[in-house]
Structure 1
Amino acid sequence: MEAMDFTVASADTGCQEPPNTLVDWALEILSTADPDEKARLGDLAASRWLRGDIPLPYDPSRPARPPPDRPARSAEVRLLPPSRMPKLGKGGSAQSRLAMLHSLAHTESWAVDLSWDIVARFGAAMRMPRDFFDDFARVAQDEGRHYTVLSARLRELGSHYGALPAHDGLWDSAMRTSHSLLARLAVEHCVHEARGLDVLPTTISRFRAGGDEQTARLLEDIIYPEEVTHCSAGVRWFRYLCLRSHGNHPTSCSVPGLEPRSSGLPGDGTADGKTAREAEGEPTPKLAKDVRGDDKMVQQVEDELPSRIAQDANGRSKVTEHVEDGLAKCKLDDSIEKYEELVIRTFHRVVREYFRGPLKPPFNTEARKAAGFEPAWYEPLAVKEACIEGETIE
């Protein structure tokens, strides 16, 4: 029976009972070192959550237990600084293709932790809607499946995950954004996920050119299309978080285009059916202390918003359609362009602060567009500017 599938004891209590909320599950997964077990528990948690067997994303009656600064990881995977990592090569030899495959499996294993960390670290603290938990449970489940199939492919080729060294640079950037959901979404779930979309077609071609059609098809048919949806989740929730701060904007309490699900928590994650703003009796949300950096960042957007947008009684009813690939984006007469411009400018500020260096072209514009990640978001970040004697040189 499924209840018996949960076999990892809590490090603190030794309790064998399944967690009660999705955040509790996320914390258990982050505390699981074995990557195969981590992926298995993640798949179990996401499946139970998405079919409604886990009743709440978090328990609003008690303080959330903070996630670990670093997730539990297997000691069998030897970590090196990024600067000391051997070159992967271009797939021209069997050894190079194994190194590429191992690197992909390692990245997907870290992606499992990143997906559950955003649930555990920010979901309750930021009073996120239930759809936020839905999205990142799906992302985490996908990442676990990606790791599992890549790890299995390594074994088919006579190797295994942990046979080669790896680095944890992905988690270094996660630590730099641990205080800010805006920064985490921008760097990990937009910049890094989109970079994966940029390089995957070349990676697929290299496996295919090397005669490994099975790995090429695995990447092409399973991993590539799902990574598009992961990037779209980052864009969607970055936009939502920016626009939520303005009470008159239609995304302030929910994400248009997403079907609400019945639960003990409504659209903005409070326990009594009110929005976060109504529950706190304030015109703008009061964010948790450990993510207060977002308060300032979102306030910058709000301070720039037009003073009169959608003030009439029909303002909320003018949300008309969501756009490309089901992205949760809304239209409010012509004002949506002004909001979108402000969101994009906020994205630029956040990435410049938390991501080291410019973004690297060439970009996979087709896949990025499918994810709702338009060039206006990333192209201005691709060229590093230098100022010399009052002149800006690109």
Structure 2
Amino acid sequence: PGSPAGRIALLHAVADIELNAVDLHWDIIARFGHVPMPPGFYDDWVKAADEESKHFGLMCDCLEGMGSHYGALPAHAGMWRNAEDTVEDLFGRLAVVPMVLEARGLDVTPGMIEIFRKAGEQQAIVALEVIYAEEVGHVAYGSKWFNWLCGRDGLDPKEVFHALVRQYFHGALKPPFNEEKRAEAGLPPDFYWPLTEQFDADPAA
């Protein structure tokens, strides 16, 4: 990331994530429409999808401002693979996508902003600051509805979260964590710190 090419690659990777997130937020609405949920569930994910679309546009603008464009580098589909793994499990989808993958964005985005600050690339700084502020809400939506489902079914949210992350997310969670922003999004430390320990993936996975 210290070179212009490295910073372009970083922005391209963020654009990939944002584009996948647009699809994922619409997918959770359509795929789990058979699960009875309050209207607020759909309102939250429509808003999140709209914001992710804006984020993707911001990243595309940044890439073009640096003489590149989205599609100039290979795309990755890590987030979508997790969606495929949780295709029949709303609890699992909420646990892995907003509460693990998007929460990871809260951990790493401040460091990315600093990279572009050192390079004096103001457009990218402003765009990433918008993304950083709004992603807190997306993690919060995941936490809110995960806890709502657990409450509806009389389940312990922390225990269910740990079990689902171990089932669907292959590997350990990696610190350092942005504990302040995670707490703001409704993720207490005892949800994620125990998952930093290595565990064996399910051999059937």
Amino acid aligned to 1:94: P
RMSD: 1.2
Q: Which residue of 2 aligns with 1:347?
A: 161
Paired residue type of 2:19: S
Query: Within 5 Å, which residues of 2 pair with 1:270-289?
Result: none
Give 1:160's aligned residue: 69
Deviation beyond 3 Å, 4+ runs, structure 1: none
From 372, 379, 382, the equivalent of 2:193 is 379
CA distance in structure 2 between the aligned counterparts of 1:214 and 1:155, rounded to whole angstroms: 11
Read off the aligned partner of 1:103 and give its amino acid letter. A
CA distance in 1, matches of 2:20, 2:190: 29
Report which structure shows greater RCO (CA 8 Å, sep ≥6): 2
Residue 160 of structure 1 aligns to a residue whose secondary structure is coil
- The C-alpha deviation readout for 1:300-346, integer Å capped at 9, x for no partner, is x3xxxxxxxxxxxxxxxxxxxxxxxxxxxxxxxxxxxxxxxx21111
Which protein has the bigger helix share? 2
TM-score (ref. length: structure 1): 0.50
Q: Aligned in 2, Cα 1:385/1:149: closer, same or farther, shift over 3 Å?
A: closer
Q: Structure 1, unaligned stretches of length 5 or more?
A: 1-90, 247-300, 302-341, 387-394
Deviation at 1:384, TM superposition (A): 2.0
Q: Aligned residue for 2:203?
A: none
Once residues 127 and 363 of structure 1 are traced to their aligned partners in structure 2, the CA distance between those partners, rounded to angstroms, is: 33
How much does 1:385 deviate? 5.4
1:383, distance to aligned residue in structure 2 (A): 1.4
Q: Which residue of 2 aligns with 1:202?
A: 111
Q: Which residue of 2 aligns with 1:236?
A: 144
- The equivalent of 1:19 in structure 2 is none
Q: Distance in 1 between matches of 2:15 and 2:47?
A: 18
For 1:372-393, what per-residue CA distance to the aligned partner results, in whole angstroms no more than 9, with x for missing partners?
Answer: 111011111111258xxxxxxx
Mapped to 2, the partners of 1:383 and 1:241 lie a distance apart of: 26
For residues 149 and 213 of structure 1, the distance between their equivalents in structure 2, rounded to whole angstroms, comes to 12
For the residues of structure 2 that align with 1:245 and 1:344, how far apart are their CA atoms? Answer: 14
**What is the aligned residue count?**
200
Q: How does 1:142-291 map to 2 (within 5 A)?
A: 142-220=51-129, 222-246=130-154
> If the length of structure 2 is used for normalisation, what is the TM-score?
0.94
Deviations 1:19-77 (A, max 9, x none): xxxxxxxxxxxxxxxxxxxxxxxxxxxxxxxxxxxxxxxxxxxxxxxxxxxxxxxxxxx
- For residue 41 of structure 2, the aligned residue among 132, 144, 156 is 132
Tell me which of 176, 179, 182 is aligned to 1:362.
176
Change (3 A) 1:127 1:385: closer
Pairing 1:101–2:11 present: yes
Q: Which ranges of structure 2 fall in alignment gaps of 5 or more residues?
A: 201-205
